[in-house]
Amino acid sequence: MAADGNRAEIVRAIFAAYLADDRRTVEAAFADDFRFNTPYGENIDKPTYFAECWRSSDWIGRHEIERIMVEGSEAFVTYRCVAKDGKSFRNTEFLVFDGDKVKRIDVYFGSSHQDGALVRQER
């Protein structure tokens, strides 16, 4: 079983792999029965995630991880993603681990920004 600090490092490694467009590392970090949940879809399995949700990271300038909180086999990470065009957004993800593998991620979308100002979303 992974220690809490190790799980925080796993989260950091996943974000670094996303930024490097390193799909192989991200795939290896996910359990075989991995599930992904967003406002756009629930209970997405691992093959579907990589077929439909994975996209090239060439548009991302950087990730700013603001906090990682780990308790037992669960973790929250809040981050700001800054695109190369100046747009950015903040999200929080809830991760559930099975040992050293991520079994589930629930994504909670935050606000979007451009050039330091909030971008209003259409209703």
Over residues 56-88, the pLDDT tens digits come to 888 899 999 999 999 999 999 999 999 898 888
- 93 CA to centre of own chain: 6
Q: Which amino acid is present at 116?
A: G
Q: What percent of the chain has pLDDT over 70?
A: 89
Q: Please report the pLDDT score of residue 56 as a whole number.
A: 82
- Give the pLDDT mean for 86-106: 94
* More confidently predicted of 50 and 123: 50
pLDDT at 13 over 90: yes
User: What is the dihedral sign for C-alpha 23, 53, 7, 20?
Assistant: positive
How far is it, in rounded angstroms, from Cα 33 to Cα 54? 17
β-strand 30-38 against 117-119: which pairing, if any? unpaired
Q: What is the pTM of this model?
A: 0.85
How far is it, in rounded angstroms, from Cα 76 to Cα 96? 9
The strand ranges marked E within 1-123 are 30-38, 41-45, 60-71, 74-83, 87-98, 101-114, 117-119
Query: 15: part of which helix (H) or strand (E)?
Result: helix 4-19
Overall CATH class of domain 4-119 = alpha beta
